[in-house]
């Protein structure tokens, strides 16, 4: 069974702090990794994709990938109350042409003003 | 830019009734299209995906079916709904690895 595991949270951080969200995956051959943000009652929104080991930065967001440890993380710097949402980690299964993506159940983030 | 539409936004249906949810994509050609279901507090479950007109792959055997009558149109159907079909139904498109979701349909089966 291919799995993507996330701590369900809630993760609570004060405004202005760094929020750290973590994800592990089971299929060692996976090559494509994504973070989605989902506000309550809304659909997921793609915020980051990462394909190579290391860090990828986009504004206040940094995605980190370690394929040897099968670990993906998302850092949110200067957290704002508007960042309060559920963050979904997603991993493409290898050898499926990118069609099969496994999603974690998500981590709820709460940023306190 | 690309836009994805889904309707209806919400739906309440009795057990045993039929279902038809529609998804259309604008601003791209020959996208890959997907149907997902998200149950309360759960991750996204891939139901169907399509790489072209009339080409449907089913991921989970169940009482749902999908069709792609046009390049940018994807339809999810059921002949008889079950209580367990309740959930948030999401259509997504991709060209490449990244998937983009529509606004979703919240279905409650009573």
Average pLDDT over residues B4-17: 96
CA distance A108 to A72: 16
B13 touches chain A (CB under 8 A): no
Nearest-CA residue of chain A relative to B102? A43
The residue among A51, A96, A99, A105 with the most chain B CBs within 10 A of its CB, best to mutate, is A99
B87 against A95, higher pLDDT: B87
* Integer CA distances (angstroms), B7 to B20, B94, B102, in order: 9, 19, 10
- Angle at Cα B40 formed by Cα A110 and Cα B47, nearest 5°? 120
pLDDT at B61: 64
Can you tell me which residue has the tokens 């399509």? B50
**With 90 as the cut, is the pLDDT of residue B4 above it?**
yes
CB distance B44–A46 less than 8 Å? Answer: no
């Amino acid at each position: 069974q291919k799995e993507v595991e996330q701590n369900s949270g809630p993760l609570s951080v004060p405004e202005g702090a760094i929020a750290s969200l973590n994800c592990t995956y089971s299929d060692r051959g996976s090559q494509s990794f994504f973070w989605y943000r989902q506000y309550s009652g809304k659909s997921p929104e793609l915020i980051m994709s990462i394909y190579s080991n290391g860090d990828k930065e986009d504004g206040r967001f940094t995605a980190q990938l370690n394929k040897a440890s099968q670990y993906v993380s998302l850092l949110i710097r200067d957290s704002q109350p508007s960042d309060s949402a559920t963050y979904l980690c997603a991993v493409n299964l290898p050898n499926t042409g990118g069609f099969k993506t496994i999603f974690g159940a998500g981590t709820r983030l709460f940023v306190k003003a | 830019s690309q836009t994805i539409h889904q309707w209806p936004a919400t739906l309440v249906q009795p057990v045993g009734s039929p279902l038809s949810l529609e998804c259309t994509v604008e601003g791209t050609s020959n996208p890959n299209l997907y149907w997902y279901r998200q149950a309360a507090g759960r991750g996204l479950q891939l139901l169907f995906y399509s790489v072209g007109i009339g080409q449907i792959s089913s991921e989970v055997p169940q009482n749902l079916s999908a069709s792609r009558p046009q390049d940018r149109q994807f339809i999810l159907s059921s002949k008889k709904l079950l209580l367990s079909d309740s959930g948030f139904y999401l259509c997504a498109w991709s060209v490449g690895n990244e998937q983009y979701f529509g606004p979703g349909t919240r279905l409650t089966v009573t």
